[in-house]
Structure 1
Amino acid sequence: MDYSTNDSKSTSKKKVVAVVGGGLVGNLNACYFAKRGFQVEVFESREDIRQAKIVKGRSINLVLSHRGRQALKHVGMEDTIISKGIPMHSRMIHALNGTQSPIPYGKKGQYILSIDRANLNKELLSAAETTETGAMTFVRAEGAKEEIQADLIVGCDGAFSAIRKQFLRQSRFNYSQTYIPHGYLEFTIPPINGEFAMKPNNLHIWPRNTFMMIALPNLDKTFTCTLFMPFEEFEKVTTGDKVIEFFQKYFPDAIPLIGAEALKRDFFRLPAQAMVSVKCSPYHFGDKCVLMGDAAHAMVPFYGQGMNAGFEDCLVFNEIMDQLNEDFSAVLPEYTRVRVPDDQAIADLAMYNYVEMREHVNSKWFLFRKNVDNFLHIIMPRTIIPLYTMVTFTRTRYHKVVKHWHWQDKVINQGLLFCAAVSVAGGSYLLVRYLPSMPNIPIEQLWSRLCTLCWGQ
């Protein structure tokens, strides 16, 4: 399909926006542009998801949080989508011995939502079509040569964007992609007697330092499990017996939940899938074309922000349209200026969060620091804000989140170091002061008395 822009300045007809890619970000964009009164045409190589018998594409569960909710709210979709999601209030950590311990995401009442990708896409498509102000047409593009006249082309065609490929021909366009050495496989935990097999209002995590498994709840009472692991580890598991041996070693409590036979079948149903991180800049070409969503900033899924960042792209673009009176020649470069540093920051945070999820949650120091951060947030809510809270429950710009995180991390660590130094100095003083008067007291008793003097215990 060939796309060209319409340079006509006539105001007698609606401006035409061609949205390339009928996925989540493309369809939400269609809602935004149709609401503004544009004539919108959505081009997608796959058939309309609402009529498809088999839905192709990625199936990793989606996590909806504040940024995505705000974007949906602007087009009247928030309540509809929330009603079809499952709240998750905490991470539920599964230790190797089978014990489970929750780590809350935020303050009481704060949660993220487990959302079904296909259902969300259907809802967005239908919402765009029924927008009264403008109009939306879904066009299935299957490689036929056809010139489309449009005032603006919006590339929302995913991590391997055909629109972005055209940008690569332009000078001063920066582009990079990075495949991480880890892949993923999916499994399903079926219901038990018609009910969830585990507590449903949690994101379940089996952290094993160099790899992990997670499970998110679905409305049909199943859980979708995703095993993230280095490809070289996947390659070592070559038979059904080795699958069971592997799970008995690292995820023993998951075997009866998934089922031994299902594990053997699903482990080899598909090869482990790759995950890519994409960065590029600028996001626009002149006043005629702009990239959004994964086409601009594909990221690994470990912060649950891929969809939310893509939805926020739509909201930010809409806000800039308001500020600059829909003047594409001003809107597009401003969108690039505002959005590139934020999207690249969350891409980096997504990489970091994989290490936190698979490894740091096992650390006593990590749990201690999390409690310290939460306590300080309670007494200084505007100064100390946990990283996850800033990313997930606010619309603080991502790059500012990173700056604030580094600053407060340095301050808290220095504070803890100071407290430790004061404790050591105080203990040393008491030891020097009282040791001469206690020459015959065993060291264990002396230490006990010293602890009582210092800390009352």
Structure 2
Amino acid sequence: MDYSTNDNKSISKKKVVAVVGGGLVGALNACYFAKRGFQVEVFESREDIRQAKIVKGRSINLALSHRGRQALKQVGMEDMIVSKGIPMHSRMIHSLNGTQSPIPYGKKGQYILSVDRANLNKELLSAAETYPNTNLNFAHKLLDWSTETGAMTFVRAEGAKEEIQADLIVGCDGAFSAIRKQFLRQSRFNYSQTYIPHGYLELTMPPINGEFAMKPNYLHIWPRNTFMMIALPNLDKTFTCTLFMPFEEFEKVTTGDQVIKFFQKYFPDAIPLIGAEALKRDYFHLPAQAMVSVKCSPYHFGDKCVLMGDAAHAVVPFYGQGMNAGFEDCLVFNEIMDQLNEDFSAVLPEYTRVRVPDDHAIADLAMYNYVEMRAHVNSKWFLFRKYVDNFLHIIMPRTIIPLYTMVTFTRTRYHKAVKRWHWQDKVINQGLLFCAAVTVAGGSYLLVRYPPNMPNIPTEQLWSRLQALKSPF
């Protein structure tokens, strides 16, 4: 392919950008590069998801928040995607005895959106296809690519091989990226992957009398300390329920009767909502799926290739930031392209410098949040601290910002949000300790000054003396 012209101004605009991977991040990236005027070639190993009768791949519902929305906004897609999402204002905690308790995500008016992964992917592909300088190539599986020339070799569905030349390769081909394999052959490339000991299994909660079986504007959670189930609402009035549990626990449940017994013990209120027969059937429809966390650095190779989304930083799903972080990759890269005038030799290393610490931070936060979701939400201290943090945020909005708010409702860089969180946590805990010490000291002073066997002191006199009491600190 040769898209060069004699017009010097348009030479850079006719460079070929090959986006490998037609998933969420790949399709959004195609829109970004096409909007800039590059010739964009998208290569996806699977068939066109818009034509597929059965959509293969992960189906965990997605929670779209501020970072993802800002990325969509830049290509004019925010309003359309938001219109097809369901707002979730709070977590709804389901206790064993059936009581439900909401924990708001943020201030009034702040919410995350439950969106359908397959539909979002279809919309992004269709948006990319509207650009005349974009081609979508499905059933193209990458065999290899050259770090020297940028040449890529694909095999098509019928077995024929095809070689493609590109000025920039953008690897958006997921946690098991074929593009990233070439990085692994290079020196000074850091890479790690961690499988957590928990898997996930999805179940469907159907509508009841044509309406949602539970309150729809919540992310429902059944926290059970070492495992949990969540449920997110869908536009068709169903809920997608996802059971996260250690694989060894999944392996203990082998019959339909054992499924019902297990749910009667841990999720009794969910049985009539899902349906006993459907529960026994769907539990064994697919085996529990694994979850992997991937970290690597750098994200680029020279000025020829860059990794984004899960190819660069697959995260476990417990902070609801996997898609949002991937979309923000596109947005950050686009911002750096503006700053450095689309000079790939400068843009790619700067993207690595800026983005790696943030993506590593959200990968760690996602691991931490699984413990919070399945166990900490049962703790009275955790709930108390949530209320304290939110109260302080209301009265000191610029000084105290809850971690979840920074991650979900702002574009504060992930690693800076973590640093600020640790600082705030230390300050608030010291403040609570100080208040407790003052309370104890004040109480001790009163007991010494006015022992119980002394005559009762009039309330007015006691109150005036309390107000005059000076703290020993």
Following superposition, the deviation at residue 407 of structure 1 comes to 0.2
Residues 20-67 of structure 1: per-residue CA shift (max 9 Å, x gap)? 000000000000000000110100011111111111110000110000
The answer (yes or no) to whether the contact 1:62–1:117 under 8 Å persists in 2 is yes
Following superposition, the deviation at residue 169 of structure 1 comes to 0.2
Q: 1:2 to 1:34 in 2, by over 3 A?
A: closer
The answer (yes or no) to whether the contact 2:154–2:161 under 8 Å persists in 1 is no
Q: In structure 2, how many angstroms separate the alpha carbons of the residues matched to 1:133 and 1:85?
A: 42
Residues 317-354 of structure 1: per-residue CA shift (max 9 Å, x gap)? 00000000000000000000000000000000000000
The answer (yes or no) to whether the contact 2:156–2:162 under 8 Å persists in 1 is no
The answer (yes or no) to whether the contact 2:153–2:161 under 8 Å persists in 1 is no
The answer (yes or no) to whether the contact 2:389–2:400 under 8 Å persists in 1 is yes
The answer (yes or no) to whether the contact 1:210–1:359 under 8 Å persists in 2 is yes
Residues 116-152 of structure 1: per-residue CA shift (max 9 Å, x gap)? 0111011111111199999999996776432111110
The answer (yes or no) to whether the contact 1:33–1:134 under 8 Å persists in 2 is no
> Which deviates the most, 90-99 or 437-446?
437-446
Q: In structure 2, how many angstroms separate the alpha carbons of the residues matched to 1:166 and 1:324?
A: 26
Aligned to 1:285: 301
Following superposition, the deviation at residue 441 of structure 1 comes to 13
| 4+ aligned runs moved over 6 Å, structure 1 | 1-10, 130-143, 439-457
Q: In structure 2, how many angstroms separate the alpha carbons of the residues matched to 1:59 and 1:199?
A: 22
Residues 75-99 of structure 1: per-residue CA shift (max 9 Å, x gap)? 0000000000000000000010001
Q: In structure 1, how many angstroms separate the alpha carbons of the residues matched to 2:284 and 2:391?
A: 46
Is 1:194 paired with 2:219?
no
Q: In structure 2, how many angstroms separate the alpha carbons of the residues matched to 1:286 and 1:131?
A: 8
TM-score, with normalisation over the residues of structure 2? 0.89
Q: In structure 1, how many angstroms separate the alpha carbons of the residues matched to 2:232 and 2:425?
A: 30
Following superposition, the deviation at residue 444 of structure 1 comes to 21
Q: In structure 1, how many angstroms separate the alpha carbons of the residues matched to 2:51 and 2:159?
A: 20
The answer (yes or no) to whether the contact 2:154–2:162 under 8 Å persists in 1 is no
Q: 1:43 to 1:214 in 2, by over 3 A?
A: same
Residues 199-238 of structure 1: per-residue CA shift (max 9 Å, x gap)? 0000000000110000000000000000000011111111
Q: Secondary structure at 1:216's aligned position in 2?
A: strand
Residues 379-415 of structure 1: per-residue CA shift (max 9 Å, x gap)? 1101100010000000000000000000000000000
The answer (yes or no) to whether the contact 1:42–1:139 under 8 Å persists in 2 is no
Q: In structure 2, how many angstroms separate the alpha carbons of the residues matched to 1:382 and 1:68?
A: 23
Aligned to 1:234: 250
Q: 1:239 to 1:293 in 2, by over 3 A?
A: same
> Which deviates the most, 428-437 or 379-388?
428-437
The answer (yes or no) to whether the contact 2:152–2:165 under 8 Å persists in 1 is no
The answer (yes or no) to whether the contact 2:199–2:244 under 8 Å persists in 1 is yes
Q: 1:118 to 1:289 in 2, by over 3 A?
A: same
RMSD value, Cα? 5.2
Residues 173-209 of structure 1: per-residue CA shift (max 9 Å, x gap)? 0000000000010000000010000000000000001
The answer (yes or no) to whether the contact 2:4–2:15 under 8 Å persists in 1 is no
The answer (yes or no) to whether the contact 1:3–1:148 under 8 Å persists in 2 is no
The answer (yes or no) to whether the contact 1:88–1:201 under 8 Å persists in 2 is yes
Question: Identity rate of aligned residues, in percent?
Answer: 93
Q: In structure 2, how many angstroms separate the alpha carbons of the residues matched to 1:221 and 1:303?
A: 24
The answer (yes or no) to whether the contact 1:14–1:38 under 8 Å persists in 2 is yes
Residues 292-329 of structure 1: per-residue CA shift (max 9 Å, x gap)? 00000000000000000000000000000000000000
Q: In structure 2, how many angstroms separate the alpha carbons of the residues matched to 1:238 and 1:109?
A: 44
The answer (yes or no) to whether the contact 2:403–2:417 under 8 Å persists in 1 is yes
Unaligned runs of 5+ residues in structure 2 are 130-145
Following superposition, the deviation at residue 438 of structure 1 comes to 2.5
Q: 1:416 to 1:440 in 2, by over 3 A?
A: closer
Following superposition, the deviation at residue 442 of structure 1 comes to 18
The answer (yes or no) to whether the contact 2:315–2:363 under 8 Å persists in 1 is yes
> Which deviates the most, 92-101 or 45-54?
45-54
Unaligned runs of 5+ residues in structure 1 are none
Q: 1:433 to 1:65 in 2, by over 3 A?
A: same
> Which deviates the most, 136-145 or 223-232?
136-145
> Which deviates the most, 152-161 or 6-15?
6-15
Residues 404-441 of structure 1: per-residue CA shift (max 9 Å, x gap)? 00000000000000000111111111111111752899
Q: In structure 1, how many angstroms separate the alpha carbons of the residues matched to 2:275 and 2:428?
A: 45
The answer (yes or no) to whether the contact 2:216–2:233 under 8 Å persists in 1 is yes
The answer (yes or no) to whether the contact 1:247–1:255 under 8 Å persists in 2 is yes
TM-score, with normalisation over the residues of structure 1? 0.92
Q: In structure 2, how many angstroms separate the alpha carbons of the residues matched to 1:143 and 1:38?
A: 29
Following superposition, the deviation at residue 13 of structure 1 comes to 7.0
The answer (yes or no) to whether the contact 2:151–2:163 under 8 Å persists in 1 is no
Q: 1:59 to 1:346 in 2, by over 3 A?
A: same
The answer (yes or no) to whether the contact 2:199–2:291 under 8 Å persists in 1 is yes
The answer (yes or no) to whether the contact 1:204–1:214 under 8 Å persists in 2 is yes
